[in-house]
Structure 1
Amino acid sequence: MKCAYETKRSSLYRRNVLDLIELFGGRAQKAHLICNVDMSRIEVRRAELAASGHHITVTSFLLKAISIAQESHPISRTLRLPLGRTVTFNDVVAGFTVERFIDGEPFVFFGEIDKPCEKTLIEIADELRKYSDLSIDKAAALNRQKRFAEWPTILRQIILHIGIWFPSFRLLCNSATFGLSSLGAMGVKTVIGPSVCTSVFGVGAVELAPVVRDGQIVIRSIMSLSLNYDQDVMDGAQAARFLQDACNLLETCPEVEF
């Protein structure tokens, strides 16, 4: 008689993602905020940059805007530690998901960009492009994660459990102060990203939609943006102000910042 199911071990290179979600995300008291962002000015700015030979993705604008907002909201880069302690990371580090193939199978890695708030959009776009163009062995962050996943399970678990108590060990595994997960290119309208740090953003598709502006119904490029945050660190009002500042930067696209 044929068995009704099939079992197998989780893939080696999924271990990092699964461990981070289970050990760090599992401790978080997760809550979510979702808003719609008018991306019309971003689309105009992208067209201007494209005309000058620079093809900048929406992700670059998102990383820039969120990192600028996070500088003003240190609570959003604060992590809960055991015994009622917290740690606030001084430097903003953007984390984002990167899909790569190993032996024909797709796997998710975490890319990182240090201090995107201090970089130009072109510099951010160049770093993003390296994550997609370079081989895993030549992309330092991806190579580190690949090698860490190949460690014996007991050693990886020891490092990760120590990281719960001591921030310096956590930084060895994941130094991102905020995360970004985007499935908009696949037509997904709303994304709730997994909680691997206190602030994780989910990005949906940019779509044309009717909105009211100055009493008139107009068509705008609208994108859904969600914030998955740890309520043990941030309360709802703090998270809302952080999200609002990021959205305002995206909607106004100020030249002085971008």
Structure 2
Amino acid sequence: MSTEVKVPTLGESVTEATIGEWLKQPGDAVAVDEPIASLETDKVAVEVPSPVAGVMGQQIVAVGDTVNVGAVIATIEAGEGKAAPAPAAAPAPAAKAEAAAPAPAARSEESVDTVTTMSPAVRRLVLEHGLDPTKIKGSGKDGRLTKEDVLAAANAAPDTAATPALAAAAPTPAASGAPGRREERVKMTRMRQTIAKRLKSAQETAAMLTTFNDCDMSAVIETREKYRDSFEKKHGVRLGFMSFFTKAVALAAHDIPSVNGRIDGDEIVYYDYLDVSIAVSAPNGLVVPIVRNAESLSFAGIEKAIADLGKRAKEGTLTMDDMTGGTFTISNGGVFGGLMSTPIINPPQSAVLGLHRIEDRPVVRNGEIVIRPMMYLALSYDHRLVDGREAVTFLKTIKEAIEDPTRLLIDL
């Protein structure tokens, strides 16, 4: 008896997805609610659970195919699937030489299995760095490799050569005049396609402009160092910089509401709340989960929300609700070492704040040149809605709040 596995409801306004990866192969044992496939939507990766226990049957669609909500993608058959092979008994000393012979074949099979379960992005990184994927410990679901796993392994052993198994599994490189040169074509994920379309649409629709300022991080750093341990002990979460900037954005948005608004046809929509989209790096690309009602959250509440969203982004467990909405975006390129950037608006929002790395620079204070930890701030905004005076005032308010955090407490 067969049971059909259908594409589940993916969220409001999301009607289709792409098969990103098959987590179970025909003949594998499957438990109730065990994920059998991963779907890529416009915003997040969604796992498809098995409705019944049994054996993985036919895979009706292939990786990369587009499927609609409710479409049948596989079947689950009644019965018991393939059991994991029992470990072989230790060979007698006299038989060690004969037992050692099949090892290369087993190793090759293991390598190929590892390669076939890697996502295209991870596989590309493995090829670029010439690593043996079977020697990398995966931190993803069911031990699968993530981009972070590969990058960590590359930093630890940059000169490791690619294994024959990986080379065999890789596509044949295009012909070229020089040895060792290769190219690979990988289909863009649905998420990457959506990111590309939305960002290009933002450039074509909004009258984007970026204004810059810098801020002295001395007071925030001092406050953070002073209360770091007691804050973590009381709230169970680290005190970071993002809570200071989120509170500063809430303060500035109260005075300049257009930055936290959007254009809808010939109308302007203003929000009396602040839902901050926090740009987070995830294995499948950049995602922007949302901290809801940030204007009413405490420092601890903001830090807990960000920590939870960041953790689930790396695990690939963010939901559509986590990604839907948002009235303003904060993008922290400083964690990657970026000195300055012009961030692109996340439509239909009207502004995005870009944070950058902190570095010691000479500045003038009270007529003297001193060294201070400085950070460049960048505010990209839709000039159709936000005037230059408002944008400069908004960024100046953030700068003043960061340089004097007491302002965040007395709403000044």
Class of the TM-score when normalised by the shorter of the 2 chains: 0.7 to 0.9
Distance (whole Å) between structure 2 residues aligned to residue 224 and residue 10 of structure 1? 33
Q: Does 1:256 align with 2:406?
A: no
Among 350, 354, 357, the residue aligned to 1:198: 350
SS of the equivalent of 1:67 reads: helix
Partner amino acid for 2:217? M
SS of the equivalent of 1:193 reads: coil
Q: Specify which structure has the bigger relative contact order, considering alpha-carbon pairs within 8 angstroms and separated by 6 or more residues.
A: 1
Distance (whole Å) between structure 2 residues aligned to residue 110 and residue 25 of structure 1? 18
**Which runs of 5 or more structure 1 residues have no equivalent in the other structure?**
147-172
Partner amino acid for 2:336? M
Superposed CA RMSD: 2.3
2:81 alignment partner in structure 1: none
What is the aligned-residue identity percentage?
21
1:60 alignment partner in structure 2: 243
Structure 1 position 191, deviation (Å):
2.4
Which ranges of 4 or more aligned residues in structure 1 deviate by more than 6 Å?
Answer: none
Distance (whole Å) between structure 1 residues aligned to residue 304 and residue 274 of structure 2? 18
Q: Does 1:186 align with 2:336?
A: yes
Change (3 A) 1:179 1:12: same
Structure 1 position 115, deviation (Å):
2.1
Among 262, 269, 274, the residue aligned to 1:79: 262
Is contact 1:187-1:205 (8 Å) kept?
A: yes
Is contact 2:273-2:295 (8 Å) kept?
A: no
**Which runs of 5 or more structure 2 residues have no equivalent in the other structure?**
1-173, 177-181, 233-237
1:155 alignment partner in structure 2: none
Structure 1 position 199, deviation (Å):
1.0
Deviation string 1:43-81 (CA, Å, 9 cap, x unpaired) is: 011112213142211122111111221122111122122
Distance (whole Å) between structure 2 residues aligned to residue 99 and residue 115 of structure 1? 22
Distance (whole Å) between structure 2 residues aligned to residue 145 and residue 99 of structure 1? 18
Query: Which region of structure 1 is more displaced relative to structure 2, 48-57 or 212-221?
Result: 48-57
Partner amino acid for 1:74? P
1:169 alignment partner in structure 2: none
Distance (whole Å) between structure 2 residues aligned to residue 239 and residue 24 of structure 1? 18
Q: Does 1:112 align with 2:265?
A: no
Distance (whole Å) between structure 2 residues aligned to residue 97 and residue 26 of structure 1? 22
Is contact 1:181-1:191 (8 Å) kept?
A: no
Higher helix share: 1
Q: Does 1:246 align with 2:391?
A: no
Partner amino acid for 1:143? T
1:144 alignment partner in structure 2: 320
Deviation string 1:181-205 (CA, Å, 9 cap, x unpaired) is: 1121222101222211211011110
Deviation string 1:72-108 (CA, Å, 9 cap, x unpaired) is: 21111221222x322222211111111122xxxx411
Among 305, 309, 318, the residue aligned to 1:127: 305
Is contact 1:16-1:145 (8 Å) kept?
A: no
1:226 alignment partner in structure 2: 378
1:161 alignment partner in structure 2: none
Partner amino acid for 1:89? Y
Larger Rg: 2
Distance (whole Å) between structure 2 residues aligned to residue 117 and residue 90 of structure 1? 9
1:31 alignment partner in structure 2: 209
Among 364, 369, 375, the residue aligned to 1:212: 364
Change (3 A) 1:222 1:87: same
Q: Does 1:95 align with 2:280?
A: no
